[in-house]
Structure 1
Amino acid sequence: MTNVETSLKETMASIEGCVGAALVDYTSGMALGTIGGGKGLDLAVAAAGNTDVIRAKTRTIEHLNLKDEIEDVLITLGKQYHLLRLLKGRGGNGLFLYLVLDKANANLAMARHQLKGIEAELEL
């Protein structure tokens, strides 16, 4: 099991094309930890905005009475992938991992696979 800081560092180091990552509480919209980002990518602002995405999709699933849950949400931009993965393990309720990938250098399928493994090792 790894802590938040170690998990985020592992995410940046192991996922090809990773530009930034964050652990986000979608009940408050606060980033509990961030790594990467930079001048053109404010992860705290992105975390708050993506909280609205998760909340809207969760409400839609409830209104449709789908009896299912979100695994992850993918937002595809011209030059980036934004991947939001809801945490399912103990202590993960209300949290998601947020990953920003450089589209030109990333393998989306591998990133999703690796993010699932990082989630499994994350200790909250």
Structure 2
Amino acid sequence: MDALDSVLGEVLSAAGASGAAVVDAVTGLTYAESGDCAAAGSGSEVCRLLTLIDERLHEAGAEGELENVVVTGSRTYHVVHVVPRQGDPVLLSAVLDRADANLALAARQLAAVAGGLHA
């Protein structure tokens, strides 16, 4: 679990980050979480949302794999990065305060940190 804690710590170091989680993309099982993740919903809710988005994109003619999803709320951003790996992919999720976060920088940092989850 030290590797997961390290990854979550790096995510939480982003400006405005208040919560982070690693979730199995197929089952919705939350492997680890840190901070306040309540605004993001449960792991299974995040999986259902991403599955729905991915299906709709493919129906609309989009090609390729889903990489990131950003959900904006009135006070928060919820950024989810899909981490492909051998076996089931995992989701690296971050909750950011809109007033304090730089969304582009946080999304880039999340993608960089996701490299620590390739296993």
Unaligned stretches of 5+ in structure 2?
none
Unaligned stretches of 5+ in structure 1?
none
- Take 1:67 and 1:95, find their aligned partners in 2: how far apart are those partners? 20
**Residue in 1 aligned with 2:57?**
61
Give the superposed CA RMSD. Answer: 2.1
TM value normalised by structure 2: 0.86
**Residue in 1 aligned with 2:7?**
7
Which among 72, 77, 82 is matched to residue 81 of structure 1?
77
Question: Shift in Å at residue 91 of structure 1?
Answer: 3.2
1:32 alignment partner AA: Y
**Residue in 2 aligned with 1:34?**
33
The answer as to whether partners of 1:87 and 1:93 remain within 8 angstroms in 2 is no
- Take 1:69 and 1:10, find their aligned partners in 2: how far apart are those partners? 25
1:25 alignment partner AA: D
**Residue in 2 aligned with 1:112?**
107
Which aligned runs of 4 or more in structure 1 are off by greater than 4 angstroms? none
The answer as to whether partners of 1:3 and 1:123 remain within 8 angstroms in 2 is no
Seq. identity, %: 27
> Given the superposition, is the C-alpha separation of residues 47 and 19 from structure 1 closer, same or farther in structure 2, using an over 3 Å criterion?
same
1:75 alignment partner AA: V
The answer as to whether partners of 1:61 and 1:69 remain within 8 angstroms in 2 is no
- Take 1:103 and 1:92, find their aligned partners in 2: how far apart are those partners? 34
TM value normalised by structure 1: 0.83
